[in-house]
Amino acid sequence: MSDLGTELAAATAAMLARFPVDLRTPDAESGTQLWAALVDAGFTSVDVPEEAGGQGAGLADALAVLDALAGAGALTPYAEHALLAAWLAGSVGHSLDGATATVAVVDDATVDRDGERVRLSGDAVGVAHLATAEVVVALADTPDGPVIAVCRCDSPDVRLDSGTDLSGMSFGDIDFEGVEADFSAASPITVDDLRTRGALVYAVALAAAARTVRERTIRYAAERVQFGRPLAKFQAIQQTLAHMAAQTTLMETAARAAVESTTAADPLTARTAAAAAKVVASRHASEVAAAAHQIHGAIGFTSEHALGRFTTALWGWSDRYGDDHEWADVLAERILDGGVDPWDVIVGGRDGNA
């Protein structure tokens, strides 16, 4: 982690101390004070270009903030707004001007132009933080190439089908019915680019949540006494804790390697690392959550217990921007169709096709 990333993580931790997170599940409050503090501090535009109103830092620095937030169980729109929507709009020099945003991929989209007006039609599935977003930054996949369109969520032509995810935060689909965009431009970012970045973002978030689950479970096993001795003294519990520790370490290591790869000159190397991180994080997330609940017993399933905030994240985030099977296919394609040496994929090396 860079010096700036370390400072951002420390500053985020200080904000979390000022605005403690309510860890009941489903979410009992939206954490608006924390989000306002992040916005005021400029943390929601860390790696957005300066010409688009951002700080112009690196993605790794912005991910340091996400790691701190996810590890604390804070439910904010940081991933969708700061790391995806603001970055996407910033790639064409557009500033969101303080509006809270979410991001959506519109497959098979139609973009109609009438003079200076642009209207977007199409569907977006699995959009997070719909209830808190004021605008949606849509990446429309059209026959003429990808288009970025910024639309207001309160537009009468934006149909929101919003439910909630396991943590209680809004999550649903959007139907764009000829929505007039406030801003639009041809996109230098493809759908694959956005999905790769989203996969990296959620690999980092999953690793942070798993780290907290591991720490809380180890502490609980040391404190909880059964049959006259702590749970951590029982061999079966020790084996479960050791297996959990190995899995979470794998998740953290893969995420760290993927974050470090964001500075690589070769985008294929970064994509491979992100794919590997998402495979590892998504594959082990449910197992880490299950082991934690086994050790905590019934108390871990209560809505008031903090464990649920992190295990619901592990369950709910594992398929965001692709599950382990999808990203395993990406890695296999590089090896089988791209002629890449598997060892280079494993160690992160470069090859003639990278």
Distance between CA atoms of residues 52 and 33, nearest Å: 25
What pLDDT, on a 0 to 100 scale, did the predictor assign at position 26?
A: 86
Domain residue limits at 127: 3-186
Query: Where does residue 225 rank: exposed (0-12), middle (13-18), buried (19+ CB within 10 A)?
Result: exposed
- Cross-sheet strand order for the sheet of 170-180: 158-164, 170-180, 117-128, 101-114, 135-142, 145-152, 183-186
Q: What is the mean pLDDT of each run of 10 residues along the chain (354 residues)?
A: 92 96 81 93 95 94 98 96 97 95 95 89 96 96 95 95 91 96 96 97 98 98 94 96 98 96 82 95 98 94 93 97 96 86 73 42
Torsion of CA 263, 47, 180, 116, to 10 degrees: -80
What pLDDT, on a 0 to 100 scale, did the predictor assign at position 267?
A: 84
What pLDDT, on a 0 to 100 scale, did the predictor assign at position 81?
A: 97
What proportions of the chain, in percent to the nearest 5, are helix, strand and coil? 55, 20, 30
Whether the full predicted model's pTM is greater than 0.85, yes or no, is yes
Q: Are residues 40 and 161 in the same domain?
A: yes
Q: Are residues 106 and 40 in the same domain?
A: yes
Q: Which residue has the tokens 């639009």?
A: 184
Q: Are residues 232 and 106 in the same domain?
A: no
* Inside any domain, residue 109: yes
Q: Are residues 156 and 290 in the same domain?
A: no
Residue at which a domain ends, from 159, 186, 213: 186
What pLDDT, on a 0 to 100 scale, did the predictor assign at position 350?
A: 55
Residue at which a domain ends, from 186, 217, 252: 186
Q: Are residues 196 and 161 in the same domain?
A: no
Q: Are residues 207 and 224 in the same domain?
A: yes
What pLDDT, on a 0 to 100 scale, did the predictor assign at position 353?
A: 41
* Inside any domain, residue 197: yes
- Number of domains, the chain: 2
